[in-house]
Chain A
Amino acid sequence: MAQQTLIPFGPQHPVLPEPIQLRLVLEDEIVVSAIPIIGYIHRGLEKLVEQKDFQQNPFLLERICGICSFIHSMNYCQGIEKLMGLEVSPRAKYLRVFWSELNRLHSHLLWVGLLADSFGYENLFMWAWRAREKVQDLAEFTSGGRVMYGTCSVGGVRRDLSPDQVRHVLSEMDQLKDQLDKLVPAILNDYTVQQRLVGVGAISREVAFERGGVGPIARATGIRYDHRTTGYAAYGDLQFEPIVETAGDCYARTQVRMRELYQSIDLIKQVFSKLPEGPLQVPVKGNPDGETVTRVEQPRGEVLYYFKANGTKNLDRLRVRTPTFANAAALLAMLPGCELADVPVIVLSIDPCISCTER
């Protein structure tokens, strides 16, 4: 038997934008096992939620993640609205879909840039982040913030889009699609990219399911699971199909995310072709009471919020389970058997968000 070596991968590592450590046990160049060590950026946000007014929490919960910020606040608002029996206006629901899909575009473009960077493809990194810049400009144009939108509140949304703004967003979407038409084939057809991704970090459908994998990790193995199909917000009125691949490797995960970029552009166009008129907010009276669970689909997968309210303005408990936490167990199944040089690519292929994981 070859001698075993333990390598601490992280918490500070060139490919990791956030701190996480993986203790890798190696035999020669091959990974035998991996254990994740987290806790470098635990902020105690779940505890802070208990001390804030339930109306203040959407803005706090946005700060769980700098990428899927709007979706966090939307999931929270949906939970409180369920507890209080509020029915949000159709216009607010459509606008929520718009900002959610903007989050998804932002997340996937950021991720593909980081992935390209992880195997030294700097040019692709800059192309992807140039496209991402357009998405962030749109976020600022429609919400006022490039990262924190602050547009979702209990009972609806806080900002409206004028017809001029809608026209601008749609023309930007066309330009973004043109950019993607150049970018996506460059990623998926490139010899180097295929050499680094095809067959790397593959897991089967059964393993992904058993480990509780969600989002693109599950869909890349053939599991047809996308929580948007349950029709929350206005997704029930829009036409789309979950994007599924079957290979289960890093390349399949890239394919899923790249096709989701086009899907998001299409969903945003559908939103503005059907955007109904109406109020943005419904009046919120009283305090939430009882228990409920809400789930929505983030760029990285399904996020779950558990609420326990007691009829006062403060919640008794809010539990957040983010997709990276679910995918971490799947990551541990991808690493054994891979080469040390592939570890950065495999880690990035789950799109790890450590701030989300630790909250």
Chain B
Amino acid sequence: MSMEIENCVPVTSDQLLEQVAARKPMGYRFVTMSCVDVGGAFDILYHFDKDYALSNLRMRIEDGQSVPSISSIYFAAALVENEIKDLFGLSFTGLALDYEGRFMLSEGAPTAPMRKTPMPGVTTTPPERKEIVWPNKH
């Protein structure tokens, strides 16, 4: 039998903010979030720590569905959410700090490179380089 993460609770996007807000007064530290492409949908795991033990939430998100941001509760989540937004092409609502898809990736980078199947419009070719005209070239 394959191993599963200990102490992991499944949540829906409606319950998420309530569940996260309940953890803060209990003394949980926000560790990070992990996003996994499960083919047409995404698992987002929220990892919290208290006394060296992890408490995890697992939320299944369909492709195209927007994710409620928890950055209003734990500000540190804003950076992770921007990373997921860039690398997996998901959209978040209520981000405390929104980089508009330019947190990890720059212009000309492939769209959502961490997805298993590339998103439409993905290009791995670098942007065309302008030819440099040297002033004193003979």
Contacts and interface: CB of A to CB of B under 8 A. Distances in A.
Interface stretch (B31-39, B62-70, B126-134): B31-39
Contacts of B2: 289-291, 309, 311
B126 to A, nearest CB: 14
Interface in B1-26: 2-5
Contact of B97 (A35, A292, A317): A35
Contact of B113 (A47, A302, A319, A330): A47
Interface string A233-262: 000000000000000000000000000000
A326 B47 CA distance: 12
A317 B75 contact: no
A329 B79 contact: yes
B119 interface: no
A292 B3 CA distance: 7
A210 B24 CA distance: 9
Given A304-B47, A321-B31, A211 B75 contact: yes
A190 to B, nearest CB: 34
Q: Which of A289, A293, A304 has the most CB of B within 10 A?
A: A293
A44 B32 contact: no
A325 B103 contact: no
Q: Is the interface of A mostly helix, strand, loop or mixed?
A: mixed
A210 B113 contact: no
A359 B113 CA distance: 13
A58 B130 CA distance: 40
Interface residues of A, number: 39
> Range of interface residues on chain B?
20 to 34
Contacts of A42: 104-105
B113 to A, nearest CB: 6
B10 to A, nearest CB: 13
A351 interface: no
A358 B82 CA distance: 12
Contacts of A321: 31-32, 34, 80
Interface string A44-64: 101100000000000000000
Given A317-B37, A321-B32, A291 B74 contact: no
Contacts of A358: 104
A334 B35 CA distance: 29
Interface of B: 2-5, 29-32, 34-37, 45, 47, 52, 54, 56, 74-76, 78-80, 97, 102-106, 113-114
Interface of A: 35-36, 38-39, 42, 44, 46-47, 82-83, 209-212, 227, 229-230, 289-293, 295, 302, 304, 306, 308-309, 311, 316-317, 319, 321, 325-326, 328-330, 358
14 contacts: A39-B104, A39-B106, A42-B104, A44-B113, A82-B3, A290-B3, A290-B4, A292-B5, A319-B35, A319-B36, A325-B32, A325-B80, A328-B79, A329-B75
Nearest first, the 5 A-B pairs at minimum CB distance are A290-B3, A290-B2, A329-B76, A321-B32, A212-B76
